[in-house]
Amino acid sequence: MAKQLKSKIISKKARVAVIGLGYVGLPLAVAFAQKGFKVLGIDTDAHRIDRIQNLKSYNADVSNATLSRIIRQGCFEVSLDFNLLEQADVVIICVPTPLKRRYTPDISFIVSAVRSVTKHLHKDMLVILESTTYPGTTDELITPELEKSGLKAGRDFHVAFSPERIDPGNKNFVVTKIPKVVGGLTEKCVELTSLLYGQIIKHVHPVSSCRAAEMTKLLENSFRIVNIGWINEVAKMCHALKIDVWEVIDAAKTKPFGFMPFYPGLGVGGHCIPEDPLYLYWKAKRYGFNSKFIKLSADINSDMPHYAVERLKEIVGPPFENSKILVLGVTYKKDVKDLRKSPSLKLIELLKKHAQVDYYDPLVPYVKLGGLDIQSIQLTPAMLKKYKVVVVAVDHSVVDYELIYRNSRLIFDTRNVYKNKKDKKVVKL
């Protein structure tokens, strides 16, 4: 039966279902549809389904024109109905994997999705998990759950893990240009999964097991959280030593080997970096291994908004209470409309305990999240003159930084956008 599925994949007659149409699932579903596969997108969010059916994308990596084209070609349909999974030859799960609390994974979305697949599992179906999770999830949780159908994994159906590597807003590395790591329950599972992704992605890298593939994703993101934590600590150290950390980084990166530049900031945001390494931390502890690097780095990064408040108190001087402060940028990274775990929002929450805080972000006209319900100001010379200090929290490309420089009294630059300004008006992180 695997030969039939292989033939369907090669001829692009395999029907691909993607569960979860967020930042990972939607671009992936679109990529398969653009290559001529019939793709079914399933999500529990009725608003997302409605937007797609009305040809209105909510994802910066997928244009309205692209949605319109693949839907009108009959290559892409979306639904809230999980019963449609029975029509699928391939099911790819791309659901969120948040934390229940600081160091405990929440895999309830994965469990829910897998249970829905189990109800409609049939012989020769290929089930792939892309959601980031701890090593062992595919073998220890997903496979036994799917086998409750009465079918045997590796014999009657196929199971694999292939970690998502989406970088939202990165035009240089869209989903089809990022090499794909694939681990499967059996060699046949790996072969079929590699063949599938090979239809849309040039480089597919198979590994020996699902656990190795799961670990690969966590190594990638743990590498980043550790290095970001380290450079944030270096920034604090350099401030204490009265050294410009940005100058030091620029000097160090002239070395053509053995160094990779990372840059300090207000911490880390989005879903991947703040949470994924903690899945590994949690799993390792269950095996009696305490990952000191991951926890220390997470703690350093989480502390950066608090550190920024202390620096602002130092920069502004007394009286700090009720000072008017403007925060530039509220997204978790530049040029992306994404507020998930944004350190800027944490900074605003902390500052509001002491000061009058506004924000400006050309990508986000208002924020209604957590305890915040605020609107972006209009960026004008007159408005800028009202603030005691302007904090550059996110370095969006479309912001007029020269306008800000000319009309601000004081700037706290956490992103080094004013690297060529040497006067006392600009204070760097």
Beta-carbon count within 10 A of 252 CB: 12
- 88 alpha carbon, distance to own chain's centre: 27
Which amino acids are annotated catalytic?
A: 272
Distance in angstroms (rounded) separating the CA atoms of residues 253 and 231: 13
CB proximity list for 280: less than 8 A, separation 6 or greater: 134, 135, 215, 218, 222, 291, 294
| Cβ burial, residue 244 (10 Å; 0-12/13-18/19+) | middle
Nearest Cα neighbor of 396 from 346, 348, 327 is 327
| Cβ burial, residue 292 (10 Å; 0-12/13-18/19+) | exposed
Residue 182 contacts residue 204 (beta carbons within 8 Å):
yes
Nearest Cα neighbor of 297 from 276, 312, 317, 318 is 276
The dihedral through the CA atoms of 270, 273, 279, 285 has a sign that is negative
